[in-house]
């Protein structure tokens, strides 16, 4: 196996190409090991040649499939117990992981069935018609092949950016400033306006923004930063709302702006369009889709923003495309623009060649400006760096001419804005070698760790330490969203201290859960401990814990029995349950259906990223510490997986219940801190826990609460909490 040379300006492409190769090889190896024997298919949409296939393993990502992947179906003659020699290749168009179904399109299979079986009915125009209820006579052996298209697009983007980094040391390089920014790069930052203007109340499109959200939008709209502008948005702080306002302010203040707006997933991208559709007309905004995306996947409200040709999504004609002020697409689908040569580099080269050829002897020729003035990526922490490089390669431009401050328009340097939360789940990487090379670290996370951002006095980890020293930082190229509009203060206490440098502020306006099972009615959080053993299926591929399932069901029934006392009354649909393994999820769903509680939402932690619920119950499952190393190696479970833990404990609005074995969880530094929090505040119920109490990870929120109820604490407990609070303030003041 070829070793990665490590990440640097000189090895940029080689590094990422090597890691992408590791990942592709690992996916191919795992898929080669999976064959499903004698599987039947069902019709989903006969006219579109769309079929369904039941693959229960996809609930646990076995195999890990994505839309666009390829499957092979080899026909089996059951009576003869042998293959027919006929095989089909199909493309996955949709995944229903919760039910265990995939949808695929295969026109040749449709033709084959028409030849084999008399159609049960005909369409009004006389064509054969099969329905989902019709039994098909054939079965198949199904195997899975790797669709290397996405990997190829990412590798191409790494090559483009790697070449862009190879500039002369004295030459201005936007690629270097975006991918390896330095503090010195801010010395020549450019403001769109010679004097930063103040915003009036009527200037804001969204009147409900807080000051930090307004600061973010105005900072981006009023400046053209030479380095990436990073937005750190913990759960519930209004990241997408901020991005939406930022787009609208750019369009208001910069009439010539053309924005490429992206997100790693189609669902997150669709959300951006849904937010913007209230303010932008279809002739101003384009939702660009891959031609293989099905119409069923796209929310009906945004189809008018899509370009459709020959009953497929398509790229509009060039002149039409150039007129849009905002183009919205997934990071991967930005490759459509690359393939069409609609990148800043290609467009500027074309314009330069045309202009230089016209009026050859004229000395005063207009400066060539980039078409794409801004790239904004929402949920940027969920995509790998090579994935984000696809839209980056569209917007990044080679700046050959010196900056002329008198030039109008002043927007001649494209701006990169990344918004996300690097403390939540990031890109999924299956290869151990690729993870070792940090393919699972997003560009947002890597940039935040560079000195320019990490050592800035206003960095999140230095919140409240010192004021900004005048004359050193003319412009702050990042913002930290801190106001949480989701969760009760008690639910925020652990994640704020453990993951967000004690920076979160509660601003939620929620209801109240009244439940006698709460140790402290003022703190709607409880850890229910147990020592029930777990079990596995398929040679430890996935796990479940029956004793924990019993406790989850009993807890839900107890909550609902007192549901009318809550404000508003608690209903089953207000409760969410999550577990780290699909087997536990399936068994929980089955058991809840038996109890008449099918509207309780059950899913994995990954299913819940970006979602929330009034009540969240976390089923930890793991109860035997000897499997922890195996979990860590596989990247599974909820122990020693801090990002998965963070997602889990930040989904609840009004009540958080964790059910698990504290004696196992305490081996994880972060779970230990969570358990210490529950013990300090008497929120732990269960077997005795042997955990040393210290003052680590005590938030301001917790200290403030303790100060209001000091009479309820033992002297030793109060001493630990007070010491932790004092230590925190010393560190925040720069004394540690």
Q: What are the residue boundaries of the structural domains of the chain, listed by start?
A: 34-147, 150-481, 486-732
CA–CA gap between residue 695 and residue 728 (Å, rounded): 9
Residues 641 and 667: their CA atoms lie apart, in Å, by 12
In this predicted structure, the answer to whether residue 470 has a pLDDT above a threshold of 50 is no
Collapsing DSSP states into helix, strand and coil, what is residue 308?
A: strand
Which helix (DSSP H) or strand (DSSP E) does residue 140 occupy? Answer: strand 139-145
Return the structure tokens found at 172. 């201005």
Burial call 582-621: b when 16+ CB within 10 Å, e when fewer: bbbbbbbbebbeeeebeebbbbbbebbbbeebbbbbbbbb
Task: Report the DSSP beta bridge partners of residue 70.
Answer: 91, 145
Specify the pairing of strand 415-420 against strand 229-232: parallel
Calpha distance 40→137 (Å, rounded)? 8
* Window from 35-49, 414-428, 545-559 with minimum mean pLDDT: 35-49
Instruction: Report d(CA 639, CA 261) in Å as an integer.
Output: 35
Model confidence at 723, in pLDDT bands (50, 70, 90)? very low
Q: If you average pLDDT over residues 233-256, what whole number do you get? A: 95
Per-residue confidence (pLDDT) for residue 60, from 0 to 100: 67
* Secondary structure of residue 14 in the 3-state scheme: helix
Residue 182 above 50 pLDDT? yes
Instruction: Label the pairing between strands 575-579 and 613-619.
Output: parallel
- Enumerate residues 6+ apart whose C-beta is below 8 A from 570: 513, 559, 560, 562, 563, 564, 614, 615
Query: Which helix H or strand E contains 719, and what residues bound it?
Result: helix 715-732
Q: Which two tokens stand for residue 654?
A: 């009004």
Determine the number of helices (DSSP H) and then strands (DSSP E) in the chain: 24, 29
Smallest CA-to-CA distance from 531 within 377, 374, 405, 659 is with: 659
- The residue ranking higher by pLDDT, 362 or 109, is 109
Rounded mean pLDDT of 175-202? 76
Q: Of the segments 118-132, 192-206, 286-300, 435-449, which one has the largest average pLDDT value? A: 435-449
Ramachandran category for residue 734: left, alpha or beta (phi over 0 → left; psi -120 to 50 → alpha): left
User: In which band, very low, low, confident or very high, does the pLDDT at 696 lie, cut at 50, 70 and 90?
Assistant: confident
Give the separation between CA 238 and CA 486, rounded to whole angstroms: 9
Question: What pLDDT is recorded for position 724?
Answer: 52
Q: Smallest Cα–Cα separation from 238: which of 259, 219, 210, 204?
A: 210
Quick one: pLDDT at residue 697? Answer: 82
Q: How would residue 530 be classed by pLDDT, with cut points 50, 70 and 90? A: very high
Higher-confidence residue of 453 and 99: namely 453
- Closest-CA residue to 141 (of 88, 204, 101): 88
Most confidently predicted of 252-256, 430-434, 590-594, 710-714: 590-594
Q: Are strands 478-480 and 229-232 parallel, antiparallel or unpaired?
A: parallel
Report helix, strand or coil for 713.
coil
CATH 2.40.30 fits 34-147, yes or no: yes
Model confidence at 716, pLDDT cuts 50, 70, 90, reads: low
Residues making up the chain, counted from first to last: 736
Instruction: Report the Cα 300 to chain-centroid distance in Å.
Output: 23
Residues 538, 29: Cα–Cα separation, whole Å:
19
Instruction: Of 267, 122, 275, 253, give the one whose Cα is nearest residue 196.
Output: 253
pLDDT, mean over the chain: 88
Q: In terms of Cα–Cα distance, which of 370, 288, 360 is closest to 324? A: 288
Predicted pLDDT of residue 527: 98
Residue matched to tokens 């109820």: 709
- Domain 150-481 falls under CATH 3.30.479.30: no
User: Model confidence at 465, in pLDDT bands (50, 70, 90)?
Assistant: very low
Question: In the predicted model, is pLDDT for residue 672 greater than 90?
Answer: yes
pLDDT of the residue at 195: 44
Q: Is there a common fold for 150-481 and 486-732? A: yes
Q: What is the pLDDT of residue 523?
A: 96
- Average pLDDT for residues 169-193, to the nearest whole number? 79
- pLDDT per residue as tens digits for the range 258-308: 999 999 999 999 999 999 999 999 999 999 999 988 888 899 999 999 999
State which fold the 486-732 domain adopts: Rossmann fold (3.40.50)
What are the pLDDT digits (tens) for 44-80?
988 889 999 998 777 667 788 888 889 999 999 887 7
For residues 502 and 482, is the Cβ–Cβ distance under 8 A? Answer: no
Provide the pLDDT for residue 13: 97
Give the pLDDT confidence of 312-321 residue by residue, as tens digits.
999 999 999 9
At 578, the pLDDT band (50, 70, 90 cuts) reads very high
- Rounded CA-CA distance 392/399 in Å is 15
pLDDT band for position 191 (cuts 50, 70, 90):
low
The tokens for 364 are 């005063």
Q: How wide is the angle at C-alpha 482 spanned by C-alphas 481 and 484, nearest 5°? A: 110
pLDDT tens sequence across 596-635: 999 999 999 998 988 999 999 999 999 999 999 988 888 8
pLDDT for residue 731: 40
How far apart CA 221 and CA 250 sit, in angstroms, is 5
Which pLDDT belongs to residue 358?
75
In this model, does residue 537 exceed pLDDT 80?
A: yes
Strand, helix or coil at 78? coil
Q: What is the mean pLDDT of residues 566-575?
A: 97
| pLDDT for 197 beyond 80 | no
Q: Which of 506, 512, 540 is nearest to 629 (CA)?
A: 540
Measuring CA to CA, how many Å separate 412 from each of 371, 389, 409, 417, 497? Answer: 9, 21, 7, 16, 42
């Amino acid at each position: 196996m070829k070793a990665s040379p490590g990440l640097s300006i000189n090895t940029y492409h080689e590094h990422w190409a090597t890691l992408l190769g590791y990942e592709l090889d690992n996916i191919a190896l795992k898929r080669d090991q999976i064959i499903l024997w004698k599987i039947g298919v069902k019709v989903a949409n006969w006219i579109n040649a769309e079929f369904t296939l039941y693959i229960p393993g996809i609930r646990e990502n076995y195999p890990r499939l994505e839309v666009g992947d390829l499957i092979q179906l080899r026909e089996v003659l059951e009576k003869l117990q042998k293959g027919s020699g006929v095989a089909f290749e199909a493309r996955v168009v949709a995944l229903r992981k919760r039910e265990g179904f995939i949808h695929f399109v295969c026109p040749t299979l449709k033709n084959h069935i028409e030849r084999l079986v008399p159609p049960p009915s005909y369409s009004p125009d006389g064509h054969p018609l099969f329905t989902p209820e019709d039994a098909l006579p054939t079965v198949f052996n199904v195997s899975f092949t790797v669709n290397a298209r996405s990997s190829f697009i990412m590798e191409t983007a790494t090559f483009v950016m790697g070449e862009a980094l190879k500039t002369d040391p004295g030459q201005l390089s936007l690629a270097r400033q975006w991918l390896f920014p330095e503090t010195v790069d801010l010395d020549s930052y450019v403001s769109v306006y010679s004097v930063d203007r103040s915003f009036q109340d009527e200037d804001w499109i969204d009147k409900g923004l807080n000051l930090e959200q307004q600061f973010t939008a105005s900072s981006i709209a009023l400046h053209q930063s030479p380095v990436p502008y990073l937005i750190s948005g913990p759960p519930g702080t209004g990241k997408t709302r901020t991005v939406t306002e930022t787009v609208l302010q750019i369009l208001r203040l910069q009439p010539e702006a053309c924005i490429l707006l992206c997100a790693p997933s189609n669902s997150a991208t669709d959300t951006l369009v849904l937010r913007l559709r209230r303010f932008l007309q279809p002739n101003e905004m384009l939702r660009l889709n891959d031609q293989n995306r099905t119409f069923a996947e796209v929310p009906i409200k945004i189809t008018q923003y899509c370009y459709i040709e020959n009953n497929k999504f398509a790229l509009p004609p060039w002149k039409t495309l150039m007129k849009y002020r905002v183009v919205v697409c997934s990071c991967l689908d930005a490759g459509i623009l690359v393939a069409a040569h609609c990148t800043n580099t290609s467009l500027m080269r074309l314009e330069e060649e045309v202009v230089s050829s016209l009026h050859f002897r004229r000395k005063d020729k207009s400066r060539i400006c980039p078409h794409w003035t801004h790239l904004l990526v929402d949920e940027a922490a969920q995509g790998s760096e090579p994935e984000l490089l696809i839209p980056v390669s569209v917007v990044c431009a080679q700046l050959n001419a010196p900056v002329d401050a008198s030039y109008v328009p002043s927007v001649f340097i494209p701006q990169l804005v990344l918004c996300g939360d690097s403390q939540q789940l990031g890109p999924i990487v299956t290869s151990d070698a690729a993870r070792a090379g940090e393919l699972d670290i997003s560009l947002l996370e890597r940039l935040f760790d560079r000195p320019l951002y990490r050592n800035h006095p206003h960095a999140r980890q230095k919140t409240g330490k010192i004021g900004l020293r005048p004359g050193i930082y003319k412009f702050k190229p990042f913002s930290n969203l801190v106001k949480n509009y989701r969760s009760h203060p008690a639910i925020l206490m652990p994640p704020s201290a453990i993951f967000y440098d004690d920076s979160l502020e509660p601003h939620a306006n929620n209801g109240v859960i009244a439940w006698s099972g709460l140790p402290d009615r003022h703190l709607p959080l409880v850890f229910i401990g147990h020592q029930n053993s777990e079990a596995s299926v398929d040679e430890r591929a996935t796990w479940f814990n029956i004793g924990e399932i019993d406790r989850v069901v009993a807890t839900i029934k107890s909550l609902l029995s007192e549901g009318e006392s809550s404000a508003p009354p608690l209903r089953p649909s207000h409760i969410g349950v999550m577990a780290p393994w699909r087997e536990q999820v399936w068994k929980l769903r089955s058991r809840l259906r038996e109890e008449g509680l099918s509207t309780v939402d059950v899913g994995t932690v990954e299913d819940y990223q970006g979602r929330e619920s009034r009540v969240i119950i976390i089923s930890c499952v793991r109860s035997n510490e000897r499997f922890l190393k195996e979990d860590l190696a596989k990247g599974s479970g909820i122990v020693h997986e801090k990002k998965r833990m963070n997602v889990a404990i930040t989904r609840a609005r009004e009540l958080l219940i964790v059910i698990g074995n504290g004696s196992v969880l305490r081996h994880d530094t972060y779970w230990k801190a969570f358990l210490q929090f529950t013990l300090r505040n008497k929120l732990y119920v269960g077997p005795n826990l042997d955990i040393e109490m210290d003052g680590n990870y005590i938030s301001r929120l917790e200290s403030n609460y303790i100060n209001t109820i000091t009479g309820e604490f033992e002297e030793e407990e109060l001493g630990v909490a007070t010491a932790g609070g004092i230590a925190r303030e010393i560190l925040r003041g720069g004394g540690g």
